[in-house]
A and B are shown apart, each in its own frame.
Chain A
Amino acid sequence: LSGGVGVDRVPGLGHSGGGSTLLGYIGIDTIIEQMRKKTMKAGFDFNIMIVGHSGLGKSTLVNTLFKSQVSRWSSGWGGEHKIPKTVEIKAVSHVIEEGGVKMKLTVIDTPGFGDQINNENCWDPISKYINEQYEKFLKEEVNIARKKRIPDTRVHCCLYFISPTGHSLRQLDIEFMKHLSRVVNIIPVIAKSDTMTPDEKNEFKHRVRKELETYGIEYYPQNEFDDDMEDKNENDKIREAMPFAVVGSDKEYQVNGKRVLGRKTAWGVVEVENPNHCEFALLRDFLIRSHLQDLKEVTHNIHYETYRARRLNDNGGLHPISVNNTQESNL
């Protein structure tokens, strides 16, 4: 704004921090509104991967998070929970709408993870899938005739489910997070936390955080990507409270005259959205209401760029390809 507009400096009015003071209202701030309208029309993509061994309530939690039946078990599930022999990647997409905003939500499930007797390298199929999505995006970007909006199938967030043993992280947890925290945003959560009393929960969380630190595992929000002090303060608070101890449910019960989502046992009702009972509300607010866009940005600006830089270095520069040619991937 300085120089371009040609406004004479009016004596008596001081400089503000950034540009010159304006004499009239121009309407530049309406750009935010224009952007909003456009994005609303275009809609968002959000791809969330859920990882953890069978039975930790992953699908239920995802359904609870997005208040709809978005997991792969929702569409006419009559089948059994059979454990596959190798890790499979199953992606299911749904379009959900709220307040005029459309979101194409893709839930990527990983059945078979951690369920075998020998789980060595069971994260390889997952790592491969994530890199394949980066590769797909890269190919589109590098194309001569690019699409206006490249379909984004990259994994924006990976929810990793920790088993609530109450002791510490398991070997497999550490191996997985070590290998993948540099490639994708990992958000560790403590599953089925209604199995622990408040004291046990706090002790367990504390131990888990210490172990993650010992192994140098940077979970999202990563320390190194904090933009400014404001972000850092906000994210510090969140990092201290992680991993969130959650409970999921798609059933409602009557408690004190209100209908709440919960789990009913012989000794009481565990209320999913009650902050005294579990940290589901914290997770939801963090994941969806405050950091959804940031997750996408970190994926695009950092993880994807890292991948791209590595590919360009390896290949000695990618050649732009036309729509008809296909270039072999060097993965």
Chain B
Amino acid sequence: MTTNIRYKSRIPIKSDETTEEKQYVGFATLPNQVHRKSVKKGFDFTLMVAGESGMGKSTLVNSLFLTDLYKDRKLLNSEERINQTVEIIKHTVDIEEKGVKLKLTIVDTPGFGDAVNNNECWKPITDYIDQQFEQYFRDESGLNRKNIQDNRVHCCLYFIPPFGHGLRPVDVEFMKALHEKVNVVPLIAKADCLTPNEIKKLKDRVREEIERFGIKVYQFPECDSDEDEEFKQLDKELKECCPLAVIGSNTVVETRGQRVRGRLYPWGIVEVENQSHCDFVKLRNMLIRSHMHDLKDVTCDVHYENYRAQCIQDMTSKLTQDNRMESPIPILPLSTPDVETDRLIKMKDEELARMQEMLNKMQQQIHDGKDQ
């Protein structure tokens, strides 16, 4: 289509055509070009799931992405779990739909909140997120930037148990430890054990507590004024429904002549995709169909930038303390690199040394500015 238009503008235009067509350049097709390029390149998305064991996290992930990521998982019994610490486990899967490729990474956090003493059980998780930022920071400041792997966590689904009366101390502490590092989306898990009234009460309670404790959960962006009414309405409904109450299922049941994902109880059938049963459809639409890109943007523009600014600030404050030429980036243990990456690292280090000199100069300027 692009080529046609370009070609068209070179053809001598008849005099009775409108002036608009004469002046048509053709860059209105840019979105299409971007679209085509991204489709070729593919997308990636990293989703973290956190919450106690038994909240239905794996089932929900399987339901969202219509996969069975956890097919060979063996559930630990309590004997094996006695000495378990919080682990970070990554599952990666490539999904393709209508020619669009998505590299989906699910970061699982088994062991979270399961012990008797859960003090700081979120530390391995915050460490992991920081590690990904640090890795990206290094890559970004390095030389070979064409193939940067973006492993930063774009969204963290936090599963709140439906059995409580609101947020528990561990929920509050976890979300506060993470809300400035990652987009936190709180969910009410296993919502099929609550009546509609109970869900409403719990949502109100959780919303109120989130505000009271100053937890900065992921905020949906405001609609542009030129969006159509339907989109605005959906957006409004989504905002009012938070936190979303979800149900997942690994089984297909037959109801009203159709086969749907659901759970079969003696008193009825819960359909995962039925909007009057739970908010699963809203979550899926939000996460995948409307806000995936925004989640990535906020991660890049807000959380990562905060990290980066903090990092650089730490670097400069360290320089005022001692003038040694060390690597300014706080080093966290990474996996052992091979020879090729070793060479790249050396090149990057030289680059960093040059950056450091620049920062020195900057700092000097700041000092001079202060003295005035």
Contact = CB atoms under 8 A, between A and B. Distances in A.
Given A117-B170, A211-B77, A165 B193 contact: no
Contact of B118 (A54, A117, A198, A270): A117
Given A83-B169, A118-B118, A195-B193, A271 B267 contact: yes
Contact of B55 (A165, A169, A270, A277): A165
B165 A118 contact: no
Contacts of A175: 116
Contact of A214 (B79, B81, B117): B79
Nearest to B77: A168
Interface stretch (B17-25, B269-277, B293-301): B269-277
Most buried by B among A172, A173, A191: A172
B268 A268 contact: yes
Contacts of B195: 263-265
B169 A115 contact: yes
Contacts of B276: 266
Contact of B263 (A116, A165, A197): A197
A120 B116 CA distance: 6
B330 interface: no
B75 A167 contact: yes
Nearest to A195: B193
A158 to B, nearest CB: 19
A191 B277 contact: no
B180 interface: no
Interface string A115-144: 111111000000000000000000000000
Given A171-B115, A197-B263, A163 B77 contact: no
Interface string A62-87: 00000000000000000011010000
A163 B118 contact: no
Given A165-B52, A167-B75, A171-B81, A54 B164 contact: yes
Nearest to B84: A171
B54 A117 contact: no
B192 A195 contact: yes
Contacts of B79: 211, 214
Interface residues of B, number: 46
Contacts of A172: 116
A239 B55 CA distance: 28
Nearest to B198: A263
B161 A120 contact: no
A51 to B, nearest CB: 15
Interface in B154-179: 161-166, 168-170, 173
A171 B75 contact: no
A191 B118 contact: no
A268 B255 CA distance: 13
Interface string B247-263: 00000000000000001
A53 B113 CA distance: 14
A276 B266 CA distance: 7
Contacts of A80: 165
Interface string A195-228: 1011000000001000100100000000000000
Contact of A170 (B114, B169, B192, B193): B114
A166 interface: yes
A95 interface: no
Interface in A254-269: 263-269
Contacts of A169: 78
A120 B54 contact: no
Nearest to A211: B78
Contacts of B161: 55, 163
Contacts of B329: none
A159 to B, nearest CB: 16
A265 B53 CA distance: 25
Contacts of B26: none
B119 A54 contact: no
Interface in A148-198: 163-175, 191-192, 194-195, 197-198
Given A83-B169, A117-B173, A277-B266, A265 B192 contact: yes
A170 B161 CA distance: 15
Most buried by A among B116, B269, B274: B116
B196 interface: yes
Contacts of A120: 116-117
Interface string A243-285: 0000000000000000000011111111100101100000000
B298 to A, nearest CB: 28
A174 B80 CA distance: 13
Given A165-B53, A265-B196, A268-B268, A171 B169 contact: no
B265 interface: yes
A54 B268 CA distance: 27
Contacts of B166: 81
A169 B76 CA distance: 11
B190 interface: yes
21 contacts: A53-B163, A55-B163, A80-B165, A81-B165, A117-B119, A117-B121, A118-B118, A119-B116, A163-B54, A165-B53, A168-B75, A170-B78, A170-B114, A171-B82, A171-B115, A194-B267, A195-B162, A265-B268, A270-B267, A271-B267, A274-B266
Given A171-B78, A174-B78, A268-B267, 7 more contacts: A117-B169, A119-B116, A170-B78, A171-B81, A175-B116, A195-B192, A266-B196
8 closest A-B pairs by beta carbon, nearest first, are A165-B54, A268-B268, A195-B193, A267-B268, A55-B164, A268-B267, A81-B165, A55-B163
Interface of B: 52-55, 75-79, 81-82, 114-119, 121, 161-166, 168-170, 173, 190, 192-196, 263-271, 274, 276-277
